[in-house]
């Protein structure tokens, strides 16, 4: 007997009935680049459609995000001054802290997540304190706790450390609990690879290292089992959400985490993944919208409960249009 699996593909309605995964607006987080200064609205050349905004120019973008009902934003700050240790990260009047207060005052329903790291704030572009031409893990943890508390005091709804220092989650959890922020969740960049896909982000955030690379703290792309170890440490130390970054080249890692942990799994659809689709679409080599939606669906299908993506606004519009037609 022939197994006629095509019977359940015959019409759109039967395909809808048996569809295993569905991308929704509820899945999406939209990253925002907030730059210190005034009258700044600058498109990032390597990320068409994505801009750096000063706070006096951000409202139009936030109006669109909230109108599309995207539930959350992830904030990256671009300061006007940098130093060796990134002291602006724990300045209570720093750019991210100001952005948190602005958004919570004017867009109170929008969930505000902050990136907790140092690379945008250090003169050398690395993710912490430099000793002997490498990042000093434990010295960086001290400053990480300061930055975390500063974001919490400003009103962040969630903090997300991206530096891949050993002991990050327990350091932040203890700092938050000891200052009364025991209800503030942490989304760990638990499995973050040293990836070539970050190139456009470093243009966007002025965060490229001035020497060396980040291979001593970000993971080797060849390693899968190590990802499980890293995620296990974050789980044990108190992370509320585990993240995989990048997403598209690491769908196997997303599935590993989904199969082995009871926590929500996030995936970061990074700048290089975004830029490739935009470039190919602009040249007419692909159907940009279809490839974008297929990419996001693949991340969801792999096991991501949350997708951080620069495509969030475009995807939300397409999802809404489809829901209206249906």
Going by C-beta distance under 8 Å and a sequence separation of 6 or more, which residues neighbour residue 5? none
pLDDT digits (tens, 9 = 90+) for 117-173: 888 888 666 666 677 777 788 888 888 899 899 999 999 999 999 877 889 999 999
The arrangement of secondary structure in 22-325, i.e. its CATH architecture, is Alpha-Beta Barrel (3.20)
Q: How far apart, in Å, are the Cα atoms of 70 and each of 24, 101, 134, 227, 277?
A: 10, 19, 38, 29, 21
pLDDT digits (tens, 9 = 90+) for 221-274: 999 999 999 999 999 999 999 999 999 999 999 999 999 999 999 999 999 999
Task: List the domain boundaries for the chain.
Answer: 22-325
Structure tokens given for 168 = 């990050």
How many CA atoms are closer than 13 Å to the CA of 154, on its beta-carbon side? 28
Catalytic residues: 192, 245
Beta strands in 153-269 (DSSP E): 158-161, 187-192, 241-245, 265-269
Q: Which of 114, 165, 108 is nearest to 137 (CA)?
A: 165
Q: Where are the alpha helices (DSSP H) in 155-250?
A: 168-178, 199-205, 225-237
pLDDT digits (tens, 9 = 90+) for 81-124: 887 777 778 789 999 999 999 999 999 999 999 999 888 888 66
């Amino acid at each position: 007997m022939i197994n006629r699996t095509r019977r359940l593909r015959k019409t759109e309605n039967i395909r809808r009935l048996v569809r295993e995964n569905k991308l929704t607006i509820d899945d999406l987080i939209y990253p925002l680049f907030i730059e210190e200064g005034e009258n700044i609205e600058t498109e990032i050349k390597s990320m068409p459609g994505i801009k750096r905004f000063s706070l006096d120019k951000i409202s139009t973008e936030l109006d669109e995000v909230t109108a599309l009902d995207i539930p959350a934003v992830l904030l990256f700050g671009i300061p006007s001054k940098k130093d060796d240790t990134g002291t602006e990260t724990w300045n209570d009047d720093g750019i991210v802290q100001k952005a948190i207060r602005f958004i919570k005052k004017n867009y109170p329903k929008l969930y505000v997540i902050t990136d907790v790291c140092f690379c945008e704030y250090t003169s050398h572009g690395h993710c912490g304190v430099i000793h002997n031409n490498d990042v000093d893990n434990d010295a960086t943890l001290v400053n990480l706790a300061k930055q975390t508390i500063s974001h919490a005091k400003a009103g962040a709804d969630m903090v997300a450390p991206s530096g891949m220092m050993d002991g990050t989650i327990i350091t932040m959890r203890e700092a938050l609990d000891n200052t009364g922020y025991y209800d503030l969740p942490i989304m760990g960049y638990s499995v973050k690879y040293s990836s070539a896909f970050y190139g456009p982000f470093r243009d966007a955030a002025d965060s490229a290292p001035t020497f060396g690379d980040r291979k001593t703290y970000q993971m080797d792309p060849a390693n899968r089992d190590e990802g499980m170890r890293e995620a296990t440490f974050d789980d044990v130390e108190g992370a509320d959400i585990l993240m995989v970054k990048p997403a598209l080249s690491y769908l196997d890692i997303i599935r590993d985490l989904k199969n082995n942990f009871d926590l929500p799994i996030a995936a970061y659809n990074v700048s290089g993944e975004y830029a490739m689709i935009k470039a190919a679409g602009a040249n007419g080599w692909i159907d940009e919208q279809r490839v974008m939606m297929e990419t996001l669906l693949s991340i969801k299908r792999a096991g991501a409960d949350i997708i951080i993506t620069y495509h969030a606004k475009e995807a939300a519009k397409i999802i809404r249009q489809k829901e209206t037609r249906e």
